[in-house]
Amino acid sequence: MNDHGSVPAVDTEEIIEKPRASDNANLIETYRKAGASGSRHFDLRVKITSEGLQEALTWFHSKQNDITRGGDVCHYYAVIVLIGTAMGIL
């Protein structure tokens, strides 16, 4: 409850009725260039995704001696590196 005795409003994400890939691409490009897209919820999704990728890479690096060529772990590592590079976090 807040000071006025009412329950504070929950921050909800807007619903996009007809999402377009071009709009999402513009958000991504703006975020990549400026560090913020102008959409709070989009920025939060990018932040948590980036943190998750960083944590995954840290785990993979800690298992580096266990990674063998051609194994599943090696493939997952390659995918994470590609995604991280594309997002500009690596």
> Domains in the chain: how many in total?
1
Q: What is the pLDDT along the chain (90 residues), one digit of tens a residue?
A: 555 666 666 677 778 788 888 988 898 889 889 999 998 988 988 888 888 888 877 877 776 666 555 556 666 777 777 776 666 654
Predicted pLDDT at 34: 94
Q: Residue 54: give the domain boundaries.
A: 21-87
- 79 Ramachandran zone, left/alpha/beta (phi>0; psi -120 to 50): alpha
Q: Kindly report whether the global pTM for this prediction surpasses the value 0.75.
A: no
Predicted pLDDT at 14: 77
Cα angle value 70/63/89 (rounded, 5°)? 90
- Residues 34 and 77: their CA atoms lie apart, in Å, by 28
Predicted pLDDT at 10: 66
Predicted pLDDT at 5: 66
The verdict on residue 65 lying in a domain is yes
Angle between helices 40-62 and 21-34 (to 10 degrees): 70
The verdict on residue 61 lying in a domain is yes
The verdict on residue 42 lying in a domain is yes
Predicted pLDDT at 65: 63
